[in-house]
Amino acid sequence: MEQFVKRLDRAYDAINEADYILVGAGAGFSAASGIEYSGKRFEDNFMDFIDKYGLTDMYSSGFYPFETSQEKWAYWARHVYMNRYSVGKTRLYEQLLELVKDKDYFVLTTNVDHQFWINRFDDKRIFATQGDYGLFQCSRPCHKKLYPNLDFVFKAIEKTEDCRIPSDMIPKCPVCGKEMALNLRVTIHSLKMKNGWKCIITIRGIWNILMKTKTSHF
């Protein structure tokens, strides 16, 4: 424990002394903030899906081969609600922002829960490589526009019965009529649509930090 505290103190000092900060955050950071994908939080909110399909956690459930789109979207509506719309600000993200807000920082994250935006990090300083739970895109995709899904999520939850939504609620692309998809990095198309243009910003942001920084702390 003593060694751990010393490491924390060194990290805190390094952040305070740095002019430029590159933040890397993955699933563990959101889990530490209380956005857990298993255990009591999962069991309290997905018991009907657990009983019917034998689901064990929200991560593996994202790969479950639901037989119908009605079932798939009933699950995903609740998943997105739990991890994108129901959480709000979290203390750990707020504490991180407090540490870096006066620095020239840049965030590279694989998290799709929108927590960096919810907690008021600067949009121009964030690159979310995996997409965003709160957005739809065409599953083909036939075009590059992204669509907010908040209304769908709340209506789908309200209309879910026996782990299904009505067939007329399945989200469809307004251009080609194909089923929509969440804007997640499950295909190369998703990555290109959501984040391709930001790759340049990311590379430039990281390069600027590296070029400006004369000392490194590990």
Q: Which helix (H) or strand (E) holds 128?
A: strand 126-128
In this prediction the pTM is 0.86
pLDDT at residue 187, as a whole number: 53
What pLDDT digit, counting tens, does each position of 36-50 carry?
999 999 999 999 999
**Residues forming beta bridges with residue 147, ordered by sequence position:** 136
**Residues forming beta bridges with residue 136, ordered by sequence position:** 147, 182
**Residues forming beta bridges with residue 161, ordered by sequence position:** 164
What pLDDT digit, counting tens, does each position of 88-140 carry?
999 999 999 999 999 999 999 999 999 999 999 999 999 999 999 999 999 99
Q: What is the DSSP string of 11-33?
A: HHHHHHH-SEEEEEE-HHHHHHT
